[in-house]
Structure 1
Amino acid sequence: MDDEAAAVADWDQKSKRSANNEQDVVQWIEAIVGSVKGDTTVAEWLKSGIILCNLVNAIQPGLIRTVNQQNVPFKQMENITKFLNAARDLGLPESSMFDTPDLYEEKNVDSVITCIYALGGAVQTVCPEFTGPKLGIPLIAKGKDVTKPKSKTSSHLLHLDPEQVASMREELETLREGHARLQEENVILRKRSEVDIPHWASQVRAVATQLEEAAAPIATVPLGERLLAMVNSLQDAEAGLRALRGAPYREELDELKRAFAQHLEEGQVRESALREELDRLRQILPESPNSVL
């Protein structure tokens, strides 16, 4: 373990030992966001992820582009995921993170408290421009307190190409929203193919049966022959509907899926390239005489 990793691990342990009272975390969130927990539990208060997203955006405006307001489980879990990704962007180490079920399913609320407490320390280091209330121990790097003013070089590397990061985050957010819409459209299309088409096929069959019964007594006269021809046409239509089974809708859905997969792949390639560049800069950073990290 190198010096920087050891320093971060030491900070992480100190932060976890200090996070023994959720009251400090609650008061910190209330002071920044303006939302009061009241008599609810911490898990109930934070479960929707809205307060957590608002907390991050209050610390660094615009870090989370959209916050889901719907009272829908997968939207609330998506908010929690957005908060966790934002916490990573703010420099929080993986050892301080929690998993979405820890909060949403209340599997480990203590880890949620610990994460937020650690976030308070990371904010003091990564966001010196934030003048709100402080919480926790400032993030340590290379065994030094880096809450002191940073050089322009250090600040630039901590916020590597903000426009590119913001653009990529917006694209990824658009992909996530597109995926959610695709899931909703999938449900609608499935209902059309599994419910609507069989329903209308049954209606066509019923009409064909009625016409066939009406034509039976006069089958030998021209009118009866025309009615029987109509019966045959309706039976063909019924067979076509049942054979269709929503094929056009499946084609439409497949096209949407292909488009989404292409956009997702492009977004992942750009994200991977940016992460590689960030890793490269982190590797050469210690060689810079102006570096304070």
Structure 2
Amino acid sequence: MIIAPSASTNAPQKDYQHIQVRPLTGALGAEVFGVKVNNLSAAELTEIKQALADHGVIFFREQTLSIEEQEAFTLNFGDFGIDPYVPGIEGHPHVLRLVKEADESTGYVFGGAWHSDWSFQQSPPSFTILYGHDIPEYGGDTLFANLYQAYDMLSPEMQRVCESLNVIHSARLGYAPASSGIHSLYENMEVIASEDAMDIQVHPMVVKHPVTGRKLLYITGVYSIGIEGMHQDEADALLNFLKAQIEHPINTCRFRWQQGSIAMWDNRCALHLPMGDYHGSRREMFRTTVAGSTPIAANG
């Protein structure tokens, strides 16, 4: 049984002076209005960073970005992240082109499972920025889930249990050579399988966000494959319970893309899931990430 939160964790903030912020749900997510991200003042940028900390994921409408402008916007938040297994576009190695053409033979979409970007790295990316360049008439929404609220909804005793555990992260389910059959379904994207996808990285199950100081449940969907010190069936039972908590509708928001939309999310406190319900239509996005730091245990 999922215990609903006692109050909204995504309440509107009243202290923005240079942008307008409208929350999407009681769990997370907000739309930001009144700015063009390719021409930001210092005050607007400061408040965008605050909105991202307040809401976990933020969205902009009616933006027009060149590749160079997306790179420049990204660098406002830190250095570029390292993106393995998927090469960047020519001349812009830190920009990934995520495309599904209308004539592809299957409905399979890249990244089509709940996840936080590259959590199998020692220092996963802090933020991801996704720009909608060509959007289908309908379908292709993206869902987001709140890792703060997922932790808060646990009982105090379960919180203590989780704080004592470490999670095993790996890219093996998506990028190991055994997954090359899946890669063939990406008819217009290059995905490079590698033996190093079998490597593991251990992170605390409960971490403290480096900006907000809040505790969160750092279980990252498909990349969280085990729990240190547990048999696999034991780990699967607990992880499946906690993943259901994270992915429950009460803990999510859903973003409807339009041409020129931007989504920017904090990988440290939010998971995401792209919907593949637009087979027969074209969707083209450009993605960048911002370098992050090694997750630190909440009780460390």
TM-score (norm 1): 0.29
Query: Relative contact order (alpha carbons < 8 A, sep ≥ 6): 1 or 2 greater?
Result: 2
Greater share of strand = 2
Question: Which has the larger share of helix?
Answer: 1
**Structure index of larger Rg:** 1
